[in-house]
Structure 1
């Protein structure tokens, strides 16, 4: 052998050894959970009914299907169920992969592919009422809860737990409670559906900052919804279209306003409770290390929540939000609400509601 020939021979020998010692490829059994489980067991494991899963699969099947069925391609149904199992447990990818009979690498690719496909359904399933008929219908539904007039949405914020992304900007995601999160603004309707969601701000950002930079604020201030109202908690500034509770109600009409406000705005509290219990990954925290991998999961689970609500899926078995959560029960009994500032005296809409409408109900 020449020197060059010897080098080639050694390289080929090492390559042959690697090929020879490579672990044999194993095709695992991929269970058909859609057929194996009945409706109850299926819903417990995947947090959605078979009816809702069928709706989602119909919407995204073409997008997540493989171009060919060769090399034991993973079916769209198995991809969807793997992703739902990940949302339902918040587990490590390896656990989800073993549950579905695929490799860890495949589960990682599948989760992001399916999540992005579901998140792209947002314009179809997360819609704020814009037409006059839609606005009127929402106002009637909210009025039926506690007789609060002209309400088309209840707004609040919730922190979605994440792990630190590291780097120089990591501390921006640490919220006032000390853990890392995404601060999510959501608006709901009377059917406990999410009608608007903003999921892009770090956990340290104040709620008012998110609202001031949101599209929904611009639409309200532009007169898009005429005399319609949003209900929020006491941490916001009162605006002609934004009603908050009173800090120290004195008259019977003011107490009635507070009680009606609390019972109506309780819908957004229930939405957060149902949403996080249906998809525990939102409460337990995602382990992905990039923000662009986490945000689609928040939007995708919001879309799935709305699909489940429209399909009539029952509430999670451990959901405690069928009654007013603390501290609302104490608030209704004591008649006072913890607000940061009482800035209501200069709001004409508030005076109209208290002195004209709620006073007439007594």
Structure 2
């Protein structure tokens, strides 16, 4: 066994897709004792309940050597949950530092591939449930043409080897904008499940520019004809190439427009809630500066979305944390439409909207 000095024998029994038990654990690695005891709560150590871990293993455990694969996934999930150094991970699991580093990188690559199964757009049959769901969220039938909500957040980074802004004794903590950030754009359905993600561009770029660089926009992948996405004031209101409906300006006091905004906000809350849940579960990723190479961060964020969707499917639910993001655009941007864009302003008010 690859980690013979750590685990004397790791035996995984699967029944109806669930992990039941593992045995003969080396007592010098208590973090694995928690996992192997079916009566113990795995959430404090892995930020995933046992049901979510079972679901993940049912998707990720392929091939002959399931013992090694299980161990590697646990190492990675622990690293993700605590945002800790590779040195701490190696000490916690009793493995060499080089192994800890390679395991994290290797598992991240493998779990990103699961996004093809887990983070995907609704099928034609699922679209009917999605539009009904947004109609219920908005409490108005006009929004039964919505098939997703788009939004974004900033992930702070501390690039290894690059000096950070210095503080003098007694200064206030550095604001988020003092640190470099990476943008993370996501689209979710009415349940809060991610259906499209795009990450890796600098945080200095606006939501509009991030959108225009994304495959969602460039390839007009979604939504289907006759449907639209919901976006906040940081996005343009568009018909093409991607139909996005945004609220009216805050300064617009037309009673019909104000009412529209109220229903729009109720439906748009799905993406806000989704990011809030992500930040609560993976708070060491989203709420602390990531000390990782920028090229690796998009993979980590992609894995977070995969695990988020797995948790939803497993009933592993959390209440969102509310985070004030001072860098977020909250009002419509006064930018010219690109040559390939068509304004969606005329789509905001339908004849059925009172």
TM-score greater than 0.5 by the shorter chain: yes
CA distance in 1, matches of 2:278, 2:109: 19
- What is the aligned counterpart of 1:144 among 136, 145, 150? 136
Change (3 A) 1:108 1:194: same
CA distance in 2, matches of 1:47, 1:212: 34
CA distance in 1, matches of 2:223, 2:277: 30
The answer to whether the Cα contact below 8 Å between 2:155 and 2:181 also exists between their aligned partners in 1 is yes
Aligned twin of 2:306:
303
Aligned twin of 2:170:
none
Normalising by structure 1, what TM-score? 0.74
Structure 2 unaligned blocks of 5 or more = 7-25, 163-174
Render the CA deviation track for 1:262-317: whole Å, top value 9, x for unaligned. Answer: 111111111111112111232223322x333222111111101111011110216x
Aligned twin of 1:10:
none
Aligned twin of 1:6:
none
Change (3 A) 1:342 1:256: farther
Alpha-carbon distance, 1:65 to partner: 4.1
SS of alignment partner, residue 296 of structure 1: helix
Change (3 A) 1:224 1:162: closer
Change (3 A) 1:155 1:356: same
CA distance in 2, matches of 1:161, 1:47: 21
Normalising by structure 2, what TM-score? 0.75
Alignment of 1:32-51 (within 5 A): 32-36=33-37, 38=39, 41-51=41-51
CA distance in 2, matches of 1:296, 1:135: 28
The answer to whether residue 151 in structure 2 is matched with residue 156 in structure 1 is: yes
Aligned twin of 2:77:
84
Aligned twin of 1:272:
275
Alpha-carbon distance, 1:353 to partner: 4.2
The answer to whether the Cα contact below 8 Å between 1:219 and 1:225 also exists between their aligned partners in 2 is no
What is the CA RMSD across the aligned residues, in angstroms? 3.1
The answer to whether residue 289 in structure 2 is matched with residue 285 in structure 1 is: yes
- What is the aligned counterpart of 1:256 among 259, 273, 284? 259
Larger Rg computed on CA atoms: 1
CA distance in 2, matches of 1:162, 1:326: 18
Alpha-carbon distance, 1:97 to partner: 2.2
CA distance in 1, matches of 2:192, 2:94: 35
- What is the aligned counterpart of 2:245 among 243, 251, 264? 243
SS of alignment partner, residue 177 of structure 2: coil
The structure with more helix, counted as a fraction of residues: 1
The answer to whether the Cα contact below 8 Å between 1:183 and 1:203 also exists between their aligned partners in 2 is yes
CA distance in 2, matches of 1:99, 1:253: 59
CA distance in 2, matches of 1:277, 1:64: 35
Aligned twin of 1:106:
99
The answer to whether the Cα contact below 8 Å between 1:64 and 1:117 also exists between their aligned partners in 2 is no
Alpha-carbon distance, 1:161 to partner: 2.0
Alignment of 1:60-79 (within 5 A): 60-62=60-62, 65=65, 75-79=68-72
CA distance in 2, matches of 1:297, 1:281: 12
Change (3 A) 1:204 1:341: closer
- Please, which moves more after superposition, 224-233 or 298-307? 224-233
CA distance in 1, matches of 2:264, 2:194: 19
The answer to whether residue 188 in structure 2 is matched with residue 184 in structure 1 is: no
